[in-house]
Structure formats: C-alpha cells, structure tokens
Amino acid sequence: MKIFILTTGFLTFLSVLGLKLFFLFSPPPPISLKKSISDIIPKEINGWSYADYDLASSVESSDRIASFLNLDDSLYRVFTNGDIHVGVYVAYWTPGKVSYRWAGAHTPDTCWVVNGWTRIDREYSIPFEVNKIKLKNAEFGIYEKDRTVENVHFWHLVGGEPFGYAQKEVPNIFGALIDIQKYGLNLRQEQFFIRLSSNEDLESLKQIDGFNEIIKGLSQLPLSANEIALQD
C-alpha cells in the first residue's frame, strides 16, 4: 500500500511538472486586438450623441475595479437618441491574464442582480443579426429596476469563440473538466466581455438610423459570425 501511494504521488508530481514545462515553453496565442477599444467603437453617429463613462462614480473607484478585474483595456460608451439610449461595454484580457470562469462570471445575472436589478427574462446562445450584419450567438436577458427596463445582449469570447452559459445546470465541480474538454489543457486565450444594453428592444433599434453603425463597430471585434479580422 505504501509503495502504491508513493508511486501515485511520484506520477502525479511528474504530470504536474510536465504540464508546467509545457506551458513554460508553449507560447500563448497571438493577440487580435491591434488598437484601443475606444478607437474601434464609433463615436460620431448622425442623430446620436455619446458619452464615455468610468466603471464607477469616481476615478479612484474605477481604478480599483479595473485592477480587481485585472483588465488590459475597457470601454463603457453610451449613445443617446432622444429618449433612447444604447450602452456598449467592452472588457479585454490578454492571453492567460485571468481564468475563463473569472472573466465570465461578471454578467448581468450576477453583477446587476446583486445591485438591485431583477431578471425578468433570459435566453441562451441566440442568433444575433442587424441589417445583414451577423454576430456570433449572444446571451440575452431583460432586467428591471425602479421601473427601468433594460434589454441586454452580451458575449464572453474566449479565443474568439462564445463561452457557453448553456452549461448553467452543470455543477461547478465539473466546470474545469468542461473547460478542458472544450479548450484543451492550454487555457491561455485572449478574452472579451461585451455587453450591449438599451431601454428599447432590438427590433425597434433596427429601425432607427445610426444604430447600424454601433453594430458595425462591434463587428470589428472578434464578434462577426463571418470571422472578419480586426482592422488595423
């Protein structure tokens, strides 16, 4: 029995050492983000005004949040057209910066609900298309707070592919195994978290001039269903 335990421990040590050496000498995948997110998402759109907001109410709080989330780049830009607003939030992590589950945990289902919003609808991995611009399947939810209703589409991209929240019913103990099955042992991929929110539903937004420009901007991230590369 003692020999079995020692042998098992030694083999486990060799396996862990082998994985560490593999990751040490295996370079991370290339970065697709060639310029700042602020330059990719449009600013001037005819008929719309825009404003950029910090992640919190003060610069100090925003810096703490950015440090807490370990972000490499981020943007929160709100477009306004009369009584209609469209918020675009994008967070970015270079390969290996944070775990997939850490980056993907900060969804409206958690962060918004904790801050007093009520989720009144939720759909998983649904098609997204605006005026012939197809984006990768999105997560969707409707959230309400103080008589304000927000329609929210969001994506967590891992290596350019949507991270599936469809495994929501799977116990967390198996989460790491699911990640390995889908992404392999080298869990170093760049990540984006992208959120598109509005007080109008998507079908209504499609009819408003200029909204298409916002979607075009998002398509320059690794969101395009046609695998369009980021423009330099």
Alpha carbon 189 to its chain centroid, in Å, reads: 13
Q: Is residue 222 pLDDT above 80, yes or no?
A: yes
CA distance 104 to 207: 31
In the prediction, which pLDDT does 38 show? 96
CA distance 139 to 141: 7
In the prediction, which pLDDT does 169 show? 47
In the prediction, which pLDDT does 1 show? 58
Q: How far is CA 30 from CA 34, 100, 216, in A?
A: 11, 17, 24
Amino acid sitting at position 160: G
In this prediction the pTM is 0.79
**Alpha helices, H only, 105-164:** 113-114
Amino acid sitting at position 158: V
What confidence tier does 2 reach under pLDDT thresholds 50, 70, 90?
low
CA distance 193 to 218: 12
In the prediction, which pLDDT does 164 show? 73
Closest C-alpha to 215, from 109, 136, 142, 120: 136
202 burial level (CB within 10 Å; 0-12, 13-18, 19+) = middle
What confidence tier does 175 reach under pLDDT thresholds 50, 70, 90?
low
**DSSP annotation of 178:** H
Q: Is residue 108 pLDDT above 70, yes or no?
A: yes
The mean pLDDT of 95-114, rounded to a whole number, is 85
| Greatest C-alpha distance within the chain | 76
CA dihedral 92, 50, 129, 165 (to 10 degrees): 40
DSSP letter for each residue of 51-101: EE--SSSSHHHHHHHHHHHT-SEEEEEEEEETTEEEEEEEEEE-TTSS-HH
